[in-house]
């Protein structure tokens, strides 16, 4: 791969990562969120694959394929199971309307650029220049977590956060050591499975997955 096309593909992948996060903030249809999550998984996997091809690193290519299978196929399928038997497939009364949501995204992206200056400065390469985009995805994940009320949306927010962190890891250091990557992937998968089962239990005992209904525990 030539240097320019390498940089282009890398930037496209990081841009796709951010774009899918922005669309998550925009959309209210829960099924659409799951599809976006899948697309984001593809964009995320494209980063290690591109890096692996560029660095002629077969192990990194392998990690990229594994990440793709996990984040673009397996995890979205588990999340989609939260949609089965779901009465209303749309987000309930949003805390933040679409316009203010997108404005918040713009602010968070600027914030991501400001905070990651020291990261880019330490080692200015095409890969580290894309770190702010990944960091913005992390912040957008937190935004989704605090402004959405449905169980599925919260899980999607959590996964945005996680995908963003994984992207930072690939862009900054071409991935963490394999044992950590494996452990972290397993943890994410298990956490999503746990949340999916808890979502099922929640629907059975609360009759829905609106987290605004969680009001048993307070001071």
Q: Is 130 helix (H, G, I), strand (E, B) or coil?
A: coil
Kindly identify the residues of this chain, within the stretch 175-204, that bind other proteins according to CB under 8 A: 176-177, 179-180, 183-184, 186-187, 190-191, 194-195, 197-199, 201-202
Residue of 138, 175, 189 whose CA lies nearest to 17: 138
Between 25 and 181, whose beta carbon lies closer to other proteins? 181
> What is the x/- site pattern for other proteins, positions 116-155, by CB under 8 A?
-xxx-xxx--------------x---x--x-----x--x-
Nearest distance in Å: CB 199, other proteins = 8
Q: Which residues, including other chains, have CB under 8 Å from residue 37's CB and lie 6 or more apart?
A: 20, 24, 75, 76, 79, 156, 159, 160
CA distance linking residue 157 with residue 22, whole number of Å: 11
> With contacts defined by CB under 8 A, how many residues of the chain interact with other proteins?
44
Identify the DSSP state of 92.
-
Residue for token digits 């048993």? 216
In the chain, the largest separation of any two C-alpha atoms, in whole Å, equals 60
**Contacts with other proteins, residue ranges (CB under 8 A):** 115, 117-119, 121-123, 138, 142, 145, 151, 154, 158, 161-162, 165, 168-169, 172-173, 176-177, 179-180, 183-184, 186-187, 190-191, 194-195, 197-199, 201-202, 205-206, 211, 214, 216-217, 219
């Amino acid at each position: 791969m030539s240097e320019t096309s390498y940089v282009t593909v890398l930037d496209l992948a990081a841009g796709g990562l951010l774009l899918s996060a922005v669309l998550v903030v925009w959309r209210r249809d829960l099924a659409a969120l799951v599809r976006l999550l899948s697309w984001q998984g593809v964009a995320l996997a494209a980063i290690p694959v591109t890096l692996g091809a560029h660095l002629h690193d077969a192990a990194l290519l392998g990690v990229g394929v594994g990440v793709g299978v996990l984040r673009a196929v397996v995890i979205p399928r588990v999340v989609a199971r939260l949609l089965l038997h779901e009465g209303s497939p749309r987000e309930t009364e949003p805390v933040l309307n679409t316009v203010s949501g997108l404005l918040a995204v713009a602010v968070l992206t600027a914030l991501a650029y400001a905070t990651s200056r020291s990261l880019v400065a330490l080692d200015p390469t095409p890969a580290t220049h894309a770190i702010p985009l990944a960091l913005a995805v992390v912040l957008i994940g937190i935004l989704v977590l605090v402004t959405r009320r449905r169980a599925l949306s919260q899980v999607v927010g959590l996964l945005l956060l996680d995908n963003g962190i994984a992207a930072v890891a690939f862009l900054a250091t071409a991935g963490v050591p394999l044992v950590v990557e494996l452990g972290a992937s397993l943890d994410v998968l298990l956490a999503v499975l746990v949340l999916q089962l808890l979502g099922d239990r929640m629907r059975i005992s609360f009759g829905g997955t609106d987290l605004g209904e969680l009001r048993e525990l307070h001071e």
